[in-house]
Structure 1
Amino acid sequence: MSPSRAPAAPMLARTPVRPHGGPDARGAARWDFSTNANAAGPCPAADAALRQVDATRYPDPSYQRLRERLAAWHGVAPARILPAASASEFIQRITVVGARLAPGPVVVPEQAYGDYAAAARAHGRTLCISGQEGPRAGQRPTLRWCCDPSSPLGLDAPPPADLGQCTTVLDAAYAPLRLHGRGTWAGAARDAVFELISPNKALGLPGVRGAYAIAPREGRAPGADWVEALVAAEPSWPLGAHAVAMLETWVSDGAQHWLARQRDTLRGWKEQLLAVLQDAGAVVWPSVTPFVCAQLPPGVTVDALRERDIAVRDTSSFGLPGWVRLNAMPPDALCALAEAIGALRQPVSSSPRSTKGNA
């Protein structure tokens, strides 16, 4: 008698891909306004470092040299540097570690990157909107997300007044791309939070995944005692050789000087982008970053633009339905956007004259 065949494992439905900028199922759009990556990149120094990577060897699993280099640049102890496979990986990791160490709701900004909420839901945590927590018996928030400059709006987001009450993560992904003003997160506020840094956008290399967090200074800062658990939950070799090269280059003088020069370029491109949108009659939200959110004129939709090989980011998943996010791009891309909007925009019909009182 032949052995019975094991029953086939049921097919599990794949979780739908979360909304993101960049390539879609059709590939990359020729004119991609949908990501927040530095369109003046890639950074030549980082690009050269990536080309020299020896991918035949594992990186040092402790990342000792990298952590010391990052720590020296930030002026912190190396023990406070926590490597992460990406910002999204760290979002998941601190959410699940926090659920074990300090169960409670997670606070997210009203308009925010969807991965904060997705991680909370995946680990069965209640969500609260920042400023709308309200008093709940036994429901004091134990993890809070901040982002400065904010996403998707690119606005200043000053630190909460009660940093000492809740473990807080400051997502600083867009701080290197700030074009106007200065942030309000001073040293004391930064020392009280986990600061999450993912420089691939600023370097114009979003396809290279790699990030790190700076843990709160030891003391009374909420979450300062989470570091050991976060390290224990870290996957083996979270950073590949290419990510190590990118992060080492990130804190070099060459990369920082290049980025400072490119901010001037991005300011010019942003002014041109605003002119295109304003000429088209779009409603534009001001920002301190190269990217802006806008309500496009009737007829100009995300799908219609994509058919013309132009990608913009629908902001519904950020909690901002009816708007799109666009990144500052070079002049040829801006010309393509202006032409597409001009072709798609529906003419505004004049309102009929009122006949009231003429009957």
Structure 2
Amino acid sequence: MSVLDLVRADLRDFGGYRSARSDKLDGQVWLNANESPWANSADIGSQLRRYPDPQPQRLREALAGLYGCSPRQLLAGRGSDEGIDLLLRALCRPGGDAVVVTTPTFGMYAVSARLHGTPVVDVPLREDDDGYHCDFAAVGDAAERTAARLVFLCSPGNPGGNLLRIEDIAALAARLLDRAVVAVDEAYIEFADAPSAIALLEESPNIAVLRTLSKAHALAAARIGCVIADAALIAVLQRCQAPYPLPVPSVEAALAALAPASQRLTGARIRETIGERARLQSALARSPGVRRVVPSRANFVQVRCIDAQGAFEALLAAGIVVRDLRAMGIPDALRISIGTPDQNDRVLRVMDALPVPAGAAA
């Protein structure tokens, strides 16, 4: 079985758009892309008048080194969002070929599917005192029953913070080997101290992994992410990608962030975030207005409040903005990102001062 068998039949031979930068040409006078011959006065390095390389080799090599894969297995793009969209475009026919999601989860899977005209099949996560859990057997059943071409898993999950066992991901991919691609979104994996599904690629060509520099590497505004998958699937995704996805300033920022000194600082901040997460979870669990704190392996905690509206308003009045999860169908939940120690202390002061509604039981 080839992963290309899962690609839309009408796109298997699709060549995509060939831009002026698609061919590797040498020259001194570049007049092939209808660019301005003069730099803009705001263009300090005289680089911005030229269209960028669609897939800068230095960036692909740096990301491949970071994630432990071959550059041929990696497609860089605009955050994880573009990877989600490209997988849908390449694998799912509009109006057919369902995708499977496990709510509560990252909303862009369903949003991208809807924009593409692709049916969404939901297999809700189960929740108990240990947090959220994925019912992998039910996910496999749903994918087979609906002839889904794509399954989205988020590990650690957002907004649940739950980590999926690598063995369960491998078993699901094996079950769906000739049926669907299993896309594992690892936007928060650096905070979990856990193995990546990238290690499964050799045995499971129908796995695709989404990674990003937005979270642990603190480059959210640069919009650099990637899809890591079988090289044949990566080649298809690249043909479906817009011509110039990676702005030069973003590429330069990413390369600087992946330099050894920056990597050491990132590692130290990840460790501090993990420590602060444990402290925040423990302290919030003792707050009078908190019903429970959901165990998390990400850079946030989900807090179930006795009065979620009151907690949200009290935090906002103190200048602290958190994510209200009630619109996601979790009626008592707030998601609080892990901040600096001082920021976390401010959160705890507000939460500790919350009044408990009369008659409410924690």
How high is the TM-score relative to the length of structure 1?
Answer: 0.71
Give percent identity, aligned residues only.
24
The answer to whether the Cα contact below 8 Å between 1:112 and 1:319 also exists between their aligned partners in 2 is: no
The answer to whether the Cα contact below 8 Å between 2:152 and 2:182 also exists between their aligned partners in 1 is: yes
Give 1:113 shift.
0.2
State how far apart, in whole Å, the 2-side matches of 1:286 and 1:247 are: 31
1:60 corresponds in structure 2 to 53
1:151 corresponds in structure 2 to 158
Indicate which of 235, 239, 263 corresponds to 2:242.
235
Please list, as runs of the form range in 1=range in 2, the aligned pairs for 1:155-170 lying within 5 A after superposition.
155-158=162-165, 159=169, 161-163=171-173, 164=177, 165-170=179-184
CA-to-aligned-CA distance 1:191-248 (integer Å, 9 cap, x gap): 5311111112112232221211112255xxxxx3xx3432122112211122212332
Give 1:326 shift.
1.0
The number of residues matched between the two structures is 292
State how far apart, in whole Å, the 2-side matches of 1:271 and 1:147 are: 21
Higher RCO (CA < 8 A, seq sep 6+): 1
Residue segments in structure 1 that go unaligned for 5+ positions in a row = 1-50, 219-223, 352-359
The answer to whether the Cα contact below 8 Å between 2:95 and 2:119 also exists between their aligned partners in 1 is: no
> Larger % of helix: which?
2
Please list, as runs of the form range in 1=range in 2, the aligned pairs for 1:73-112 lying within 5 A after superposition.
73-100=66-93, 103-112=96-105
State how far apart, in whole Å, the 1-side matches of 2:65 and 2:299 are: 29
CA-to-aligned-CA distance 1:148-198 (integer Å, 9 cap, x gap): 2121111111215231241121111111222xx523736125753111111
**CA RMSD of superposed structures (Å):** 3.1
2:210 alignment partner AA: L
Give 1:319 shift.
4.9
1:300 partnered with 2:314: no
Residue segments in structure 2 that go unaligned for 5+ positions in a row = 1-43, 124-137
1:11 corresponds in structure 2 to none
The answer to whether the Cα contact below 8 Å between 1:276 and 1:334 also exists between their aligned partners in 2 is: no
Give 1:105 shift.
0.9
2:37 corresponds in structure 1 to none
CA-to-aligned-CA distance 1:129-148 (integer Å, 9 cap, x gap): 24256469973111011122
State how far apart, in whole Å, the 2-side matches of 1:243 and 1:92 are: 20
1:323 corresponds in structure 2 to 333
State how far apart, in whole Å, the 1-side matches of 2:224 and 2:196 are: 26
The answer to whether the Cα contact below 8 Å between 1:147 and 1:170 also exists between their aligned partners in 2 is: yes
1:267 alignment partner AA: I
Of 153-162 and 103-112, more deviation after overlay is shown by 153-162
1:64 alignment partner AA: Q
State how far apart, in whole Å, the 2-side matches of 1:229 and 1:184 are: 23
Indicate which of 268, 272, 284 corresponds to 2:275.
268
SS in 2 for 1:292: strand
1:95 alignment partner AA: L
How high is the TM-score relative to the length of structure 2?
Answer: 0.70
Give 1:86 shift.
1.9
Indicate which of 165, 170, 194 corresponds to 1:182.
194
1:255 partnered with 2:270: no
